[in-house]
Amino acid sequence: MLLKDKVVIVSGIGPGLGIELALCAAREGAKAIVLAARTASKLSDAAEQVKALGLGTEVLEVPTDIANAADCEALAAKTHATFGRIDGLVNSAFVPGSFGSWEKWKFEDWRQALDVNLFGSMQLSREVAKFMQEQPTGGAIVMVNSMVTKKVIGEQAGYATSKGALTVATKALAAELAPLKIRVNTCYMGWMWGNSVKTYCDMAAPAMNCEPEDIKKGIERNIPLGEMPTDAECAPACIFLLSDLAKVITGAQLDVNGGEYMPMG
């Protein structure tokens, strides 16, 4: 079990990757999982799913808007007060911003994306690191980033910009926290078959005069492994980076996309 006896926070709990991260952490032996999201009902549903595994995992639900500095401070403090330590954090919370070509860019949406995807992830990481630095074993932080920072996909300039900024900030954080034995790594997700992509295919199909399945197959033609990975199949990559198997890995960028993007050099 990769996370045996560890206390892990997962932000951005929802019906996609967030809940799969929590479930994967539980299956890998986490002592406790702290669920964080803006919507309390999503936390309750996720908690029920984790408990339904029957593994005895302790669950703490903390409604949190990571764009709010006070919420981030409260989440870290409540986790430490409840369990006495924080071993891992997965920054999965995000907002997609608006889609559109350059003529339709809405810079207020860009600012919101930056506020959550960049500043929210960094301020939550800082609050958690304050407690991790007190632990002899340090801790591990994983940022969920996106392939859109490396490969232009659709009309997602605002979202890609926020995630690109997160890439640079994460490297700086990894360097600064390394002497404290706090590791910081990133998973760059590609297309993931889950609620978000299913909704996209359903909405785009009428405009493209095709079936949702045709859109999915079109995407998969660009994926060397031949199929779009699911949220559940991508989550273990983050869990690995939280684990002691990755204890000498920091500042790393792991592509989790079925091979769709393969950097050269």
Counting the structural domains of the chain, the total is 2
Looking at the fold, whether 23 and 33 belong to one and the same domain comes out as yes
Residue 238 included in any domain: yes
3-state secondary structure of 83: helix
Looking at the fold, whether 102 and 204 belong to one and the same domain comes out as no
Please give the angle made by the CA atoms of 143, 145 and 149, to the nearest 5 degrees.
145
Separation CA 26–CA 72 (nearest Å): 23
Neighbouring CB atoms inside 10 A of 79's CB total 24
The pLDDT score that the predictor gives to residue 254 is 97
Expressed as residue numbers, the domain containing 202 is 193-228
Residue 130 included in any domain: yes
pLDDT tens column, 213-264: 999 999 999 999 999 999 999 999 999 999 999 999 999 999 999 999 887 7
Looking at the fold, whether 217 and 169 belong to one and the same domain comes out as no
Whether residue 265 is predicted with pLDDT greater than 70 in this model: the reply is no
Looking at the fold, whether 175 and 208 belong to one and the same domain comes out as no
Summarize the confidence of residues 117-126 as an average pLDDT.
98
Looking at the fold, whether 131 and 199 belong to one and the same domain comes out as no
Helix boundaries (H) for 99-223: 107-113, 121-132, 157-177, 195-208, 212-220
Average pLDDT, the chain: 94
The edge-to-edge listing of strands for the beta sheet with 182-189 is 58-63, 32-37, 7-11, 88-91, 139-146, 182-189, 253-256
Looking at the fold, whether 78 and 11 belong to one and the same domain comes out as yes
Summarize the confidence of residues 48-54 as an average pLDDT.
97
The burial of 101, by beta-carbon neighbours within 10 Å (0-12 exposed, 13-18 middle, 19 or more buried), is given as exposed
11: nearest Cα among 84, 81, 85, 86: 86
